[in-house]
Amino acid sequence: MIGALWTGISGLSAHQTALDNESNNIANVNTIGYKASRISFADQIYQGKIGKGSYVQDAEKVFVTGGSKITGVEYDVALQGDGFFTVINKNTLGTAETFYTRAGNLRMGQSGTLQNADGYEVQGWAMSSIDQKNDVKTTNQNASRFTDVYVKNLGNGIIRHKDYIETIAAKATNYNETAKSDPVSVFSGAGGKTKAAKLKDIDLALSNYNEWLQKYKDDPSLPSKGSTSQVSQANFKTGVPPTSIIGKEGDSIEMVVNGNSYTQKFVVTKTTPAWRDELWDALPMTPVDERALYNLKDPALIEIMPTSTEAERSLKDQEIAKYDKLAGKINTYKALADTISNKEAGVVAYMAKDRTNPTSDVLNPNGMYEQTTNLADMLRGVIQIKSLVPGKEFKITQVAEYSGENEKFSVKGTFQSTAVASLGSGKQALEEARDALSRLVNGNQRSVYTTQDLYGAANNKTFSFSINVFDKDLGYVIPVPNDGAVPPKAVPIEIGNVNTGDINTIVDAINNTRTSSGPQLGDYIVAKNINGNLVLETNEANYDIEFDAKLETDPTVDLNELVNNAGYTYDIKVGSNTISTTFATTTPVDKNAIYTAISTNVSAYNAANPGRELVVSPINNGVFTISSADGERIEGDLRINVAPTQPNLANNVNNAGTSTVMEQGVYTITAPVTDNTTYGVTINGTTYSFTTGTGYTGTESDVRNNILAQIKNDPALKDIVNATANGTGGISINQTRVVDSSNTATSLNITQTGGAYNQTQAYNAGNPEVQVFTVDFTGASRSEIILTLAGSNISIKTEENETPATAATKLQDEINKNPNLRNRYEVVVNGADIEVREKAGVTGYTGFGGNVPSITFKDLEVPVWDLKEGFIEVNSEYSGRRGAGGEFMEITTRVDQSSTQASLQLRLDVLNISDSKFGAFKVDDTGLVTITEGGVEYAVGQVSIARFTNNRGLEAVGNNNFRATQDSGNVIYSTNNNNTNGVKGQALELSKADLSESLVNLMVFQRAFEANAKSITTSDELLSTLINLKR
C-alpha cells in the first residue's frame, strides 16, 4: 500500500511539471520567435514486474518555424526556416557571451551597430574597413568620403561575387555650376571646349559608366580587360594651289564625322609684323624649304620696302598678303578643330604633329601625334581627333577643301587611325569608364601665364620655379623639386637670362630639368607653349591632383648691364646691416673681379652673422643671384659714384647742298608742214613722232596734237613730265620728277626732229645736303646716342669698343625701320666721321629744309639690382581645369563572406562612407543589410544565419536566447546563407505556442493530476482500513 502512495506522488510531480510547461507555453503565446516546448513522460523502475510510477523524461523545444507577421518596421527581420540570429553580449570587462535567437525585433544601438531588444549586437559578415588609397577614387585630395557637396549621384551598384559582396557608389559635386568655357584666345586649336560641350561629354561618359556598371553587376566573373580609345588624324593639303586651294574669302574646308558634316569658311586674317617674324622663324629650311614653298619674303625686308608710290605700296601689300593667307589657313584649321570639339559629343579635336617626323605632311600610321600650336606645325593642316570615352568608335568619312569660285572644285585630304576603338570587359573596362568620367567631371589643372604676365614691361628676366603638390603615395603636400629631407624643402630650378617674350625656354627648362634625387616636376606636371602662352598642366597619370605653381623672378644681379669706365657703389641691406661694395669698371668690364668683390664682402658678413647668412649663386654669363638663406628680406641699391665718360662730339659741320632744278623747254614744229617728212621729239630715250605722207594736207597743229597724244599716253612719262600744247605747233615740256632718284645725274636728254627744241630751264642734278659729325669714342663708356632727324629721334646704344663705322650702321638700321625716313636719309661713315646725308626724292635734292640733324649723348640707366623676389600670379581669368571643374568620388566597399563573424555597423560616418550618420535600413532575403542615403544604396554587412546539427541540444537561457552546448554541436555558417531559407524583412516570426493545444493539454494534465491524487487517497483509505482492522 505504501508503494502505491509513492507511485501516485511521482505521477503528481510529473504532471505538475507538465502543467508548468504548458503554462509557460501559454505565457509566451505572443513572444516573438518563441518555440513551444513539450514534455515527454517515462515510467520508472519495476519491482516484481510492477512499475513504480512516472517521471518527466525530457522537456524539449519544438523547433518548427512559426508564422510571419508583416510589420512594416524596417528593422524587423523574420528567419525563414531553420536557423538563428547570432548575438553577443559585451560586458564592461571586455569579454563577451554568444547567444542565438529567433527573435528578429532588431534596432540600431547607440554605437551604431545592429542590436536585438536586449542591446546584444547582432553578428554577421561586416563591411571591411575602407582602404583610402585603393577603395576611394577621388579628385579632391582633402576628401575621402561623401559630404553634402556631392549632390550628383553618378552610379551605384551592389555586386555579388562568390564569397564577397561589393558596393560601388560614385558621386560628384555640382559640375553644372563649376563648368566654364575654355578661353578661346588661349586654347583655340588646342582642344578648347565650351561649357555646353563639356556637359554634353559628361552625359555621354556617364551613360557609358552606368552601362559598364550594370554589365559588371550582371556578371562579375567576366574576364577583366580594358577598353581602347580611338585616336584618328585628318590631314589637309599643304602648299600653294593646286596642292591646297583655300586662301581667300568664300573658300572652305570640310570634315565628316559620324555622318555629321562640319564645314568651316576660310577665316580672313590680317597679320602683324611680330606674327610674320614668328612664322618666318618657325618654318624649316630642310628637308623642304617651306619659306620657298610659300614664296615668302623675310619680314625684316618687308618692313623696309618703300611705300612712296602706289606701286610700291602694292608690292609691299602683296608680300604681306602671302603671310595673311597662311595665317588665315591656320585659323581656319583651328576653327574647324574647335567646331568638332564642341559639336561632336565625346571627342576632342586639336592641331597636331608627328613627333617622329615633325616636318612631314604625309600621315604616318606608326606616327606619334601630339598637340601643337607652333605656327609651322599647324600650317601642315593635321587635326587629331581623340575619343574621350574608351571603346566608343567614331568614323571620319571625308576630308576636303573647296574653292569659293567653284564649289565643285575640291581637293581631298587624307585620314587614318593610329588607335582603334575596342571594347573591354569586366572590372577593368568599368574602371576605365570611371576614369574617363572622372577626367571630364574634374579634368587636368591648367595654370596659364600670358607673355604680359611673365614679362610685363621688363627686359630679360631670370626665373625660379617649383610647385607645391599633393603626393598621393605620401598623402600630404610636398614641394617639388626638393632636397629629399624630412620634411622636404623646396629646391627651385633656375631659368636664367630669358629673352622678353620667350616662352619656349621656360617650357624646355620645366620639362627637361632633372634633379639628382627625389621627385621630379615631370612626375606631376608638363609645361606647354599654347598659342604663345605658358600653360602648366597636370600630366595624365596625375590629372586630378592640384598644384600651386611658384614662379618667381629671382633677386638677380646682371653685370652685363654695367657700363665701362665708371664707378659704382653697391649696398646690400640686411635688417640694420649694410654690405657695401665699391668698384670701378674698366674696358672691357671685368665681371669676374666685380663678382669676387661682392662675394667676398658677403662672405665676411656671413661669418659675422651666423644664422642670417646670404647665399650667392655661381656666376653664369655675367648673371648671379643673392638671396637670404632663411628667407629674410634683403634690399639692394646700386648707384654711380664716378660718372661714365660720354663719347666726344669733336666736330659738327653742315655741308650745304644744292637743290635739284627740273628741266623746262618748248618743242616747236617747223612750219609749214611738208609731205613725206618726220616730225618728233625724243624724251628719256623714247621717240614720239609723226610722218606725213604724199599729199598730206594737215597743219602743224594736227601734227603737234598727234605727237602730244603719244607723250601723254605713255605711262613711262606719266609721273616724269607734264606736256601741254603751246601755240599753233608747239609742245611745252616741264619735268616734274627726276628720272632716277638713285642717280640724279640722269636727265631727260631731249632731242628733236622736224622742228626746234628751246630749253628754257636746264636740268641741274644738284647735290645732297650733308651733316658731318666727328665723334671720338676713345675711352668712352657705353652710352646712348640720339640722332634728331626730321623731327624724329633715332636712338642707339653703343658698346665698349664702339667705332664711327659700327655706330653709323646701327643708326642706319634704326632709320630703315621708319618708312618716312629711310627713303630720304642715310647714315654713312666717311673716315672718322659719321655723315647724315640727304637722299634724292622724286623731285631730287631739296635739303634738310631747316631741320638740320643733330646728335646728343645720354648716360645709360643705372641697373636696378634691388634683390626683390617677384612672385608671378597665374592668370586667374585663363586658368582652370580642362574638364568641368567639379569633384568626382567613387567609393568601393566590400563585405567579405569568408571572414569571421563581427558586429554589423550601420552608421555611414563610422564606416567612413559619408558624413551623414543615418540612412534607410533594409535587409534582403539573403540577410544582406543595406543603408540607403541620398539615393545611394550601400551594402554594410550581411546577417549570418547560424545552424546546428541538433537544435534540441541548445540551452534556452531566457530573453529569447539560446546557448550552444555540447549536445547542440558547433555553430555552422554557410557563405551568403546559401544553405538556409533566408530571412524576410519588415516582418517578425510569431510565437509557435498553440493556445488551443495548450488548453487541451492543461485539461488532460489536470485530469491526470486528479487521477494520481485519487490513487493516493485510495491508498490512504486502504491503509486506514488495515489500521482499523488491528483495532
Band of the pLDDT at 576, cuts 50, 70, 90? Answer: very high
CA nearest neighbour of 47 among 16, 12, 6: 6
Residue with cell 599716253: 713
Strands 614-616 and 730-735: unpaired
E strands along 389-524, which residues?
396-402, 410-412, 414-419, 445-449, 461-471, 476-480, 493-498
Identify the DSSP state of 563.
P
The predicted model scores a pTM of 0.78
Q: How many CA atoms lie within 13 A of 567 on its CB side?
A: 4
Is residue 745 very low, low, confident or very high in pLDDT (cuts 50, 70, 90)?
confident
Flag whether pLDDT at 903 surpasses 80: yes
How much of the chain is helix, strand and coil, in % rounded to 5?
A: 25, 35, 40
Report residue 48's pLDDT band, with 50, 70 and 90 as the boundaries: low
Handedness of CA 988, 989, 991, 997 (dihedral sign): positive
What's the pLDDT at 661? 96
| pLDDT the model gives residue 1022 | 76
Contacts of 622 (CB under 8 A, 6+ apart): 558, 559, 560, 591
pLDDT band at 460 (very low <50, low <70, confident <90, very high): low
Phi, psi of 426 (to 5 degrees): 65, -155
- 314 CB-near residues (< 8 Å, 6+ apart): none
In degrees and rounded to multiples of 5, residue 458 shows phi and psi of -85, 160
Q: Which of 46-60, 207-221, 348-362, 423-437 has the lowest mean pLDDT?
A: 46-60
Q: 947-977: per-residue pLDDT in tens?
A: 999 999 999 999 999 999 999 999 999 999 9
Spell out the SS3 assignment of 655-703: ECCECCECCEEEEEECCCCCCCCEEEEEECCEEEEEECCCCCCCCHHHH
Task: State which H helix or E strand residue 648 sits in.
Answer: strand 648-655
Nearest to 208 by CA among 416, 506, 440: 440
Q: Which residue has the cell 598623402?
A: 475
Asked whether the beta carbons of 653 and 770 are under 8 A apart, the reply is no
Alpha-carbon distances, residue 828 vs 654, 851, 891 (angstroms)? 15, 19, 79
Q: Which three cell numbers stand for residue 912?
A: 567612413
Distance CA 882, CA 866 (A): 39
Residue 816 has pLDDT above 90, yes or no: no
- The yes-or-no verdict on residue 8 having pLDDT over 70 is no
CB within 8 Å of 409: residues ≥ 6 apart: 245, 402, 403
Please determine, for residue 5, whether its predicted confidence score (pLDDT) is greater than 90: no
Three-state secondary structure call for residue 310: helix
Q: Note whether 151 and 497 are within 8 A (CB).
A: no
Task: Give the per-residue pLDDT at 533.
Answer: 96
> What phi and psi values does residue 379 have, to the nearest 5 degrees?
-65, -20
pLDDT digits (tens, 9 = 90+) for 472-510: 888 889 999 998 888 888 888 988 777 778 899 999 999
Backbone angles phi, psi at 138, to 5 degrees: -130, 145
Q: pLDDT band at residue 808, thresholds of 50, 70 and 90?
A: very high
Share of the chain above pLDDT 70, in %: 97
| Whole-angstrom distance, CA of residue 886 vs CA of residue 864 | 45
How would residue 165 be classed by pLDDT, with cut points 50, 70 and 90? very high
Residue with grid cell 592641331, as numbered in its chain: 351
| pLDDT at residue 51, as a whole number | 64
Rg (CA), the chain: 51
Residue 207's pLDDT is what?
98
